[in-house]
Amino acid sequence: MIDTALLPCPLSAGWQLLWQEELPKLSAKGEPIGGFSALQLLTKFENKSMAKIKNKFPQLLLLSDAQRSFTLAAEWRGSLLNPRWKLGEPEPIQGLPSTPFDGEAIVQSAGYWWMASEARNSETQPAELLQLDKTAAFSFGLIQRFPLPDQWQPAAESGLLPNQGPEALLALPGQQLLLAAERPLRQDPSSELRLLLAQIISTPAKKIKVEFRPIGTPLSYQPEAGAEAHWGLTDLIALKNGGFLALWRGYQEPQKWWARLELFPSVPLTETKQAALKPIAHWDLIGLGLMPDNWEAMGEGPRLGDGRSTLLLANDDNFNPLQANRVALLAPLRLAACGKGRP
């Protein structure tokens, strides 16, 4: 989680683009890589297989939404401000069914990893939450599948639109997960984005159960002018005070992109219907110098020497030869009067 005290100060100060770099589109063995939809920076070694890794460089774990979802580890060499990357090979998620899958988010909670799988239709590719376990240092295997409630499954007059979520997954205290759609569900107002709570329950038999609970407070959904047809939420990051940062992506043909970061207060985790939660602040990331592209993944980056938190971003190249695989690092700008973490 990011310390709220290390956000931009004042909020209007915004963010600084520290660097952005391209990653190869082929692995060392010639395997296609791309389609990055989620990321996690791993700096602690969780098990014996990871502890044996020499040098113990931080690893950037990337999740791809390829037709067969895979993870890719990028070893962070060089320095924080001048990184060099050593890429591993794509590691397909083991044990997935033969039906199409679309991994959009990955987080840790209750001793396991969890992945949100995007819906195409309710029969061959439903919206699901997947329980995963590490099978090796940077590869995963499927343990259980938990279909989202019927209200979320694609249908003629309700549920998710095809390829529109669940898109974001957030680990909360108390073995809870927060899921978010990419765009409003068919039955919802066009200005509201639905959220869903998943409670992870440990049983005496050591088999995990999940209970889904509706959340009565949606997020305010306000596309940029011109991006209405292709606007959506792509990722969330929790803040220590209970609020969160949200990454929104927009597109307009033939080649115009938007990337907007918003700061939201804490959302009530109850079923009581309330007005849509509005952002406290928002920032145009393309205006910072970020390459106009399909920025989908966001995660907490390393701390800078002056104490500031950072944000890592990665884009989804759609395996399109005209797009690139990119990663970027942002840091909040803070005035001297703000104290700890100032630039």
Q: At 155, which amino acid appears?
A: A
pLDDT band at 40 (very low <50, low <70, confident <90, very high): very high
Partnered with residue 59 across adjacent β-strands are 42, 75
Strand order in the sheet with 112-117: 103-109, 112-117, 128-136, 139-147
Could you tell me what percent of the chain has a pLDDT over 90?
76
Residue 334 token pair: 């803070």
Task: Express the helix, strand and coil content of the chain in percent, nearest 5 each.
Answer: 5, 45, 50
pLDDT of res. 99 = 59
pLDDT in tens, 228-280: 999 999 999 999 888 999 999 999 998 899 999 999 999 999 999 999 999 99
Widest CA span of the chain, in angstroms? 57
Are the CB atoms for 90 and 33 separated by under 8 Å? yes
Q: Which of 271, 272, 224, 274 is nearest to 252 (CA)?
A: 224
How far is it, in rounded angstroms, from Cα 197 to Cα 259? 26
> Global pTM?
0.93
Sign of CA dihedral 178, 184, 185, 188: positive
- Per DSSP, the chain holds a count of helices (H) and strands (E) of 1, 23
